[in-house]
Amino acid sequence: MRRSQNRLLLVAVLAGILSFSGFSFIEVQQPSVATNKAPAYILALNSLTERYLQKDIPPHNRLRNLHELLVGRLKKVGIDTVLYYQSGCVGCEALPDLNAIDKPSKNCQCNEEELTVYLFWRYKGKTLSKKLDCCQNQPVMAGKGSIIDFYFQNKTHFIAGEKFFQDFVAYNRSHPNAIKFLPPTSIHDDVVHVMFYLGRKTIQFQVRGDEFTTAGNPKHMHYTWKRKQWEWMKLIEKAVAGK
């Protein structure tokens, strides 16, 4: 008991000396094993996004270019499973309100081709997501693992889709006088872009609304891999809509 009192007295004396000399005690907390602070790479993603949005960048492909910067940052920390989703309208243009014409606008409008844009990735077994917004930086949120699992569950179909276009290009190169053409498509259409980065491999495709029935069946190219592209797109669409 006497020893404890002596320690308290010594601390009090030291505190008085330090206070008189202009110094003060600063509480130092040891790093905790479990912390709510975001990982350094997420802070870097947010910082990179904020700096990018402050630049005067033309609206065309603004978020597509941003996603390339973010994917590069993710790869630097060893994250090599990344999914990019972009939904919008090709050939469309938002018409301003008649009362707003020739008046300064404070509203931020994104490019019609980039109305809904998300980035998903796998980090230590968890799926995370970040909405890419042309107006402001959005926080990293938890994502649904099923949207990435879908590729691995249907990998053979997506490989078949890649092979189809590889064979298509190879045939046209070797038969310049008898080239084949893909079915025509609308120049004004709802279009979804999907890019899946898996290690050094990138799987990418478009899903154009006019090429499918409302039930998701291809109108022209009746292949399973094309149907799977539509199914993957719908799965992501529901996830970002919170359904």
For 83, the enclosing helix (H) or strand (E) is strand 81-90
* In the chain, % of residues over pLDDT 90: 64
The token pair at 180 is: 């084949």
**Is the pLDDT reported for residue 13 higher than 60?**
no
Choose the weakest-confidence range: 96-100, 179-183, 201-205.
96-100
Taking CA atoms, 152 is separated from 135, 225, 238, in Å, by 34, 13, 19
Q: What is the DSSP letter of 212?
A: B
**pLDDT tens for residues 79-120?**
999 999 999 988 776 666 666 666 655 567 778 888 899 999
Confidence of residue 213 (pLDDT cuts 50, 70, 90): very high
Residues 178 and 186 sit within 8 Å (Cβ to Cβ)? no
Higher pLDDT, 195 or 10: 195
Q: Which stretch, 53-57, 161-165, 183-187, has highest mean pLDDT?
A: 161-165
Residue 204, beta-bridge partner list: 195
User: Per-residue pLDDT averaged across 194-203, rounded?
Assistant: 96
